[in-house]
Chains A and B, each alone.
Chain A
Amino acid sequence: MFETLGKWLDYMLGRFHVAFIEADRWKLYLQGLGVTLEMTVIALVFGTILGLAVAVVRTAHDQQRPGRHNIILGFFNKLCNLYTTVIRGTPMMVQLLIWSFVIFSNSRNKIMVGIIGLGINSGAYVAEIIRGGLMSVDVGQSEAGRSLGLNYFDTMRFIVIPQAFKNILPSLGNEFITLFKDTSLVNAIGAAELTYYAQRIGGRTFDYMPPLLGIAFMYLLIVIVFTWLQGKLERRLRESDRR
């Protein structure tokens, strides 16, 4: 009984040894992980800025005083509407393929193309999350701000956005986790990130199980760490609710 188990463990350890230790393959995983994290962070920043801009345009457009409709704002609102509709209405994978093989078909830098695809995709979701968050703040809050003579942007900046931020943090965290995991799709357009290396090592050693389980564990670990950080931040932001 124990002998069989011992043999099986030896056999498994051997397979993992081949996938991770032999020929210094662990360096490839680290390299891939680095690229994955780099893509996540840049796409995250890009997507958040884009999403915030779109959310502000759409909210500002919806909150104009009747009879004072701004034509330029109306134009940008239409543009933002089109953007969120198209991005949210098509699969992430199809978008990445279009970025890579249609729009930037001459580019060799597939990581950059991946970042653009991910960032623009994420921006549309972030925009809707932020817009929902801004609308979730009691209208009495902005009325109080405006009644004191604060202008629209100060009211947003000091009163509405900080409160909205607290409300949207859970969904924003979810979106960031989705973005992090979606970096693995960039593998399909040939960017050398974590999943790409795992597949390549699997092909080289004729054994896919150890590298794929290994990277699944790496993704999971990072998501768990991120969720923990998010929980800490949420607790800190709730400080003003204490009684």
Chain B
Amino acid sequence: MIDVKNLSKSFGDHLVLDNISEHIHPGEKVVIIGPSGSGKSTFLRCLNLLETPTEGTITFEGTVITDPKVRIDQIRQQMGMVFQHFNLFPNMTIRRNITLAPVRTKLMGQAEADAEAGRLLERVGLSDKADAYPAQLSGGQKQRVAIVRALAMKPKLMLFDEPTSALDPEMVGEVLDVMKELAREGMTMVVVTHEMGFAREVGSRVLFMADGVIMEQGAPEDVFGRPQSPRLQDFLSKVL
């Protein structure tokens, strides 16, 4: 589904991603773990070109999206993204947060988008919040709305950038539950997270990133049960 070839990214002199090649298959739930500063988030943000790679190519369903001539807005409509800090639009109601993109990109009419928003909000248990503003919601509720907002575009792939890192501990569960349900339905997911329990339970593949490279990867049982590199062993000893 996504093919990454020789991806490098540097900010000034600082090399953040060092020649990464990786392939993400449809239906996979790829979980990326690693110490902070290892380039996990930058890698994820390169996948929908929120960061422009310095070198290398990214291909999404046969389209080379790193080509400057590609219509990136159309590509992004097929990839949902959920951010650490939710990034809901504070000037709009929850309903409008969800329906703005589908309506403006002509994916749906307003009535259809409203119905879809209602259906999605019901699924995450927030039907009564449709007319509220983001400031009136708790962190966990905001993040569930953010997931719904991305889903309203009917994406083929969902990117999660540390979706639970900014949440109070008691709200992490409600967000992870929504993500688990999404995984069960077969959504292709790439998740950067520090939730090792989630990685183990939901991940079909775990990537361990450090120093701008994917140092080790494999099934969750292998990565967590039989870590090979000393860096991963060290990392796991600190977080588990």
Are A158 and B104 in contact, with the CB atoms below 8 A?
Answer: yes
Query: Which chain A residues border B170 with CB–CB below 8 Å?
Result: none
Nearest chain A CB to B136's CB is how many angstroms away? 6
- Select which of A67, A146, A242 is within 8 A of B136 by beta carbon: A242
Nearest chain B CB to A125's CB is how many angstroms away? 25
Are A148 and B50 in contact, with the CB atoms below 8 A?
Answer: no
Residue picked from B77, B85, B90, B146, most chain A C-beta under 10 Å: B90
Query: Which chain B residues border A240 with CB–CB below 8 Å?
Result: 90-92, 133-135
Query: Which chain A residues border B78 with CB–CB below 8 Å?
Result: 149
The proximity string for B residues 70-104 relative to A, scoring 1 for CB distances below 8 Å and 0 otherwise, is: 00011111111101010111111000000011001
A144-B83 contact, Cβ under 8 Å, with A67-B68, A162-B91: yes
* Residues 121-158 (chain A) with a chain B CB within 8 angstroms: 138, 140-141, 143-151, 154, 158
Are B90 and A148 in contact, with the CB atoms below 8 A?
Answer: no
A163 contacts the other chain (CB 8 A): yes
A159-B89 contact, Cβ under 8 Å, with A149-B105, A150-B101, A154-B104: yes
A151-B73 contact, Cβ under 8 Å, with A140-B83, A141-B89: yes
A242-B135 contact, Cβ under 8 Å, with A149-B77, A150-B105: yes
B141 contacts the other chain (CB 8 A): no
Are A147 and B135 in contact, with the CB atoms below 8 A?
Answer: no
Are A150 and B100 in contact, with the CB atoms below 8 A?
Answer: yes
Are B87 and A243 in contact, with the CB atoms below 8 A?
Answer: no
Are A148 and B68 in contact, with the CB atoms below 8 A?
Answer: no
Query: Which chain B residues border A67 with CB–CB below 8 Å?
Result: 52, 68
A147-B50 contact, Cβ under 8 Å, with A140-B87, A162-B91: yes
Interface residue count on the A side (C-beta < 8 Å):
26
Are B149 and A146 in contact, with the CB atoms below 8 A?
Answer: no
Residue of A nearest to B136 (CB): A243
A65 contacts the other chain (CB 8 A): yes
A242-B133 contact, Cβ under 8 Å, with A147-B76, A148-B149: yes
Are B101 and A148 in contact, with the CB atoms below 8 A?
Answer: yes
A144-B89 contact, Cβ under 8 Å, with A149-B101, A150-B100: yes
Residue of B nearest to A140 (CB): B87
* Residues 185-235 (chain B) with a chain A CB within 8 angstroms: none
Interface residue count on the B side (C-beta < 8 Å):
34
Residue of A nearest to B81 (CB): A147
- Select which of B50, B68, B133, B150 is within 8 A of A143 by beta carbon: B50
B153 contacts the other chain (CB 8 A): yes
A6 contacts the other chain (CB 8 A): no
Are A150 and B50 in contact, with the CB atoms below 8 A?
Answer: no
Query: Which chain B residues border A149 with CB–CB below 8 Å?
Result: 73-78, 101, 105, 153
Query: Which chain B residues border A140 with CB–CB below 8 Å?
Result: 83, 85, 87
Query: In the complex, A151→B100 CA distance in Å?
Result: 12
Query: Which chain B residues border A166 with CB–CB below 8 Å?
Result: 91
Nearest chain B CB to A114's CB is how many angstroms away? 37
A241 contacts the other chain (CB 8 A): yes
Query: In the complex, A166→B89 CA distance in Å?
Result: 14
Query: Which chain B residues border A243 with CB–CB below 8 Å?
Result: 135-136
The proximity string for A residues 62-80 relative to B, scoring 1 for CB distances below 8 Å and 0 otherwise, is: 0001111000000000000
B164 contacts the other chain (CB 8 A): no
Known: A143-B50, A148-B77, A149-B75. 4 other contacts (CB 8 A): A144-B146, A146-B50, A148-B100, A149-B153
List 6 interface pairs A-B (beta carbons < 8 Å), by A numbering.
A146-B50, A148-B149, A149-B77, A149-B101, A150-B105, A242-B136
8 smallest CB-CB distances across A and B, nearest first, come from A149-B77, A144-B87, A148-B101, A147-B81, A140-B87, A149-B76, A240-B133, A162-B91
